[in-house]
Each structure stands twice: as C-alpha cells, then as structure tokens.
C-alpha cells in the first residue's frame, strides 16, 4: 500500500473554559468554579492514502467538524499529532502555516457565509494563488476562467458578485476556490448539507467528476449516510469525540459491526413505499463535557454489559481493513471478559 498523505495519530482536542470571577467566588463556598473541559476529540487515529476519499460521519457533538479543523490547522491538537506528507502540520513546532494553507483546503457548509459578499468571485478565486505566487500574475485571469469552467460555471461569471449566484452555484465557486490552490488534501465539512436535493445531486456529480479528473484526496465530513456512501471509499463513524468504527464503505453499509453504527442506519428514514417503523436509538446524545464512563455509547446501547461501563473499548481489527471500538469485538461485555 502507498504511504498515506495524511496521518492522524492519537489526536485529542480539549476546549477549556476558565470560570469567571463570579463563578470562582461562588466556587469558593460551594466547591465548584472549576474549569469546564469539553472533550471534543479523544484519541483519534486515521490515515488517508493518496486519491482516497474518507467519510467522517456522526451526529452533532461527535467531533467530526473539530477533526476537520485540526486537519486544516485551524485548531492545534491538545495531544497527538497530524502529519501531511510526513511533516507535522501547522501550529505544532516545525509546522509551517503558510505552506499548509496551500496544501490543505476546506470547503464549508454555507456558501452564503464562506464567500466575501463584496468581492467579485474572480477576485475571491485569485486571492490565494496570488498571495502564494502559485501562478504568474499575467496568467491569473485566464486561470480563473478556466477554474470556473471546470466547476460548471461560465468564465464570464468572474466579474459577478456572490449575491448574483444561487446556492448551488455559490458552492461551485467555493469548490473552485479550494481547487485554485492545487491542494493535496480537501476537507469538505457538510459541503452539500444546505443544498436542495436536485442541486445536491449536481454538486455531488461535480465532485465525483473532479475527483476522477484530478485524483483528489479528501476528508468528506457529513451527517448524511447516503451521501457518504455514494462518494466515499472508506467511512469513519464517530461518537462523542471517538472513532468507533472504520471500514470500507461497501462493507460498512453491508454489515455494520458497532451497535451505534447499526442503530444509526436503522434510524435513518429511507425512500420507500409503505409505512415504516422507526427503530429509534433510545435516549439522548450525552454531553461531551461529562462523557459517560467506559464506552461513551453504553447508556444507549442495547447490547451493553458491565464491562462497557468501566472500560473504554479500544479499536480492534474486525476483518481486513476494518476496525471497530466495541467490547463485543474484543472478548465480550462481561466483567470477567476484561481480565481474559
């Protein structure tokens, strides 16, 4: 197997909120007033090979967007490291933020927020390459037109402002802006979530075409299981800051191994005729400020045993190229299984 472009090794990310003065004063009496720590990512490891598209799936608060931001260098990891081509990414010692932004590009959910409303889209597209001297100044305009055509817009649109475009067109502009930097890795964070179904299909087709033509490598972050299945080679399922299952897309959808993955699939409405009973997951997503002990999914898991309450499951092999973090795949859920 080829060397991975991106290595995420045991990455954790914690956000700490220091208590205010009033809280500290009250805390002196009540014994509270301690810093609040949110465990957004806990011990996440993942490699991405060149030309691979890896889906990151989970519900809100699972840390999928935080992972995307750590990879793009927006956040520095609290523990662990992320390397691109073997070199640590920004905000770590020896990292180079300037270099990184040319190598990793992000596409955001809302193209209404991610494009500068006062800048002509041609300018928006040219800003990055110009700053980093990726293309000679004389060729910028021609290159911008070429990029716009590549994402299915007319070259002449370079002189328009974002408000003159529809949502789908804006998302095409956002994709063109990311491609303008000729990145090694794309991070798409819910990039089609805000689009209408008919427009979503257009943008997904564009992404698949570009991927084929340019050999893109990407992290595709989404809550939409059917979209992820359609465009990703491998899929990582996250729950409350941890990676719980990682598998090639076809295998994961054919046979999910983690109880959370199965439950997630069961609760997604599918298009079909006839009334369906929703097999909903019981309970709520716990708070990442106070995650449950042991396996974070145990309070909602139909298969949980005593071991799940005390021991955090490790990612273990579950067949070729797939791993799962569940005690069922690692001895069993009983307490005596832990010793074995």
Partner 1 sequence: MTAALEVKGLTTRFDTRGGAVTAVNDVSFTVEKGRILGLVGESGSGKSVTGFSIMGLIDAPGEVRAGQVLVDGSDLRGLSDEDMRKMRGSKVAMVFQDPMMTLNPVLRVGDQMAMAVRVHRKMSKNAALEEARKALETVGIPSPAERLKAYPHQLSGGMRQRVAIAMALLHSPSVIIADEATTALDVSIQGQILAEVRELADNTGAAIVWITHDLAVVSSLADDICVMYAGRIVERGTAAQVIGQPRHPYTKGLLESIPALHEPGTPLPQIPGSTPQLSRLPQGCPFRPRCPRATEICAKTPPEDTVDGQTVLCHHPLERS
The answer to whether the CB of 162 falls within 8 A of the CB of 143 is no
Question: Partners of 16 in the beta sheet?
Answer: 37
CA 242, chain centre distance (Å): 12
Residue 113 sits in the site that holds partner 1 (CB under 8 A): no
Residue 229 sits in the site that holds partner 1 (CB under 8 A): yes
Whose Cβ is closer to partner 1: residue 118's or residue 282's?
A: 282
Tokens of 101: 């932004």
Question: Partners of 185 in the beta sheet?
Answer: 104
Whose Cβ is closer to partner 1: residue 9's or residue 59's?
A: 59
The answer to whether the CB of 294 falls within 8 A of the CB of 310 is yes
Residues 219, 227, 236, 326: which binds partner 1 (CB under 8 A)?
227
Count residues binding partner 1 (CB under 8 A): 47
Whose Cβ is closer to partner 1: residue 78's or residue 262's?
A: 262
Residue 49 sits in the site that holds partner 1 (CB under 8 A): no
Residue 301 sits in the site that holds partner 1 (CB under 8 A): no
The answer to whether the CB of 68 falls within 8 A of the CB of 221 is yes
The answer to whether the CB of 187 falls within 8 A of the CB of 108 is no
The answer to whether the CB of 193 falls within 8 A of the CB of 225 is no
The answer to whether the CB of 172 falls within 8 A of the CB of 206 is yes
Tokens of 131: 């700053």
Residue 273 sits in the site that holds partner 1 (CB under 8 A): yes
Tokens of 235: 């899929």
Q: How far, in Å, CA of 240 to CA of 286, rounded? A: 8
Q: How far, in Å, CA of 70 to CA of 77, rounded? A: 6
Contacts with partner 1, 54-83, as mask; x by CB under 8 A: -----xx-----------------------
Residue 280 sits in the site that holds partner 1 (CB under 8 A): yes
Residue 230 sits in the site that holds partner 1 (CB under 8 A): yes
What letter would DSSP give residue 328?
Answer: G
Residue 339 sits in the site that holds partner 1 (CB under 8 A): no
Candidates 69-77, 228-236, 305-313, 320-328 — which segment interacts with partner 1 by CB under 8 A? 228-236
Candidates 38-46, 87-95, 106-114, 218-226 — which segment interacts with partner 1 by CB under 8 A? 218-226
The bridge status of strand 36-48 relative to strand 6-17 is antiparallel
Residue 201 sits in the site that holds partner 1 (CB under 8 A): yes
- Closest CB 195 distance from partner 1, rounded Å: 9
Residue 269 sits in the site that holds partner 1 (CB under 8 A): yes
Residues 250, 310, 314, 316: which binds partner 1 (CB under 8 A)?
250
Candidates 115-123, 125-133, 140-148, 279-287 — which segment interacts with partner 1 by CB under 8 A? 279-287
Residue 26 sits in the site that holds partner 1 (CB under 8 A): no
Residues 74, 76, 134, 204: which binds partner 1 (CB under 8 A)?
204
Following DSSP, what letter does each residue of 287-325 receive, concatenated?
PTTSPPSSSTTGGG-TT--HHHHH-PPPPEE-STT-EE-
CA 327, chain centre distance (Å): 25
Q: How far, in Å, CA of 3 to CA of 5, rounded? A: 6
Contacts with partner 1, 147-186, as mask; x by CB under 8 A: -------------------xxxx-----------------
Residues 132, 223, 309, 322: which binds partner 1 (CB under 8 A)?
223
Whose Cβ is closer to partner 1: residue 97's or residue 268's?
A: 268
Grouping H, G, I as helix, E, B as strand and the rest as coil, residue 57 is strand
Tokens of 298: 């145990």
- Binding-site ranges for partner 1 (CB under 8 A): 59-60, 166-169, 196-202, 204-205, 208-209, 223, 225-227, 229-231, 249-250, 263-264, 266-282, 284-285
């Amino acid at each position: 197997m080829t060397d991975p472009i991106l290595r995420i090794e045991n990455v954790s990310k914690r956000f700490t909120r220091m208590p205010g003065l009033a809280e500290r004063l009250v805390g002196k009496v009540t014994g509270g007033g301690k810093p609040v720590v949110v465990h957004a990512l806990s011990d996440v490891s993942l490699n991405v090979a060149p030309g691979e598209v890896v889906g990151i799936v989970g519900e809100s608060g699972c840390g999928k967007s935080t992972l995307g931001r750590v990879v793009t260098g927006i956040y520095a990891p609290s523990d662990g490291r992320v390397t691109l081509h073997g070199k640590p990414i920004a905000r770590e010692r020896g990292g180079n933020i300037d270099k990184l932004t040319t190598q990793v590009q992000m596409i955001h959910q809302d193209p209404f927020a991610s494009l500068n409303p006062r800048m002509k889209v041609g300018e928006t597209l040219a800003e990055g390459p110009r700053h980093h001297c990726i293309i000679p100044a004389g060729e910028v305009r021609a290159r911008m037109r070429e990029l716009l055509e590549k994402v299915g817009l007319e070259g002449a649109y370079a002189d328009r402002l974002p408000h003159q475009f529809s949502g789908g067109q804006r998302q095409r502009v956002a994709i063109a802006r990311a491609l303008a930097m000729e990145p090694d890795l794309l991070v798409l964070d819910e990039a089609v979530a805000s689009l209408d179904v008919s427009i979503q299909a257009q943008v997904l087709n564009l992404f698949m075409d570009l991927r084929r033509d340019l050999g893109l490598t990407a992290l595709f972050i989404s809550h939409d299981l059917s979209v992820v299945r359609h465009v990703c080679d491998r899929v990582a399922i996250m729950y409350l800051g941890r990676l719980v299952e990682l598998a090639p897309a076809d295998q994961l959808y054919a046979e999910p191994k983690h109880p959370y993955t199965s439950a997630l699939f069961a609760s997604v409405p599918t298009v079909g005729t006839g009334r369906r009973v929703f097999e909903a997951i019981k309970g709520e997503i716990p708070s990442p400020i106070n995650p449950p002990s042991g396996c974070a999914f145990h309070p909602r898991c139909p298969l949980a045993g005593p071991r799940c309450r005390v021991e955090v499951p490790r990612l273990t092999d579950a067949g070729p190229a797939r791993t799962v973090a569940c005690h069922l795949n690692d001895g069993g859920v009983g307490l005596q299984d832990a010793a074995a």
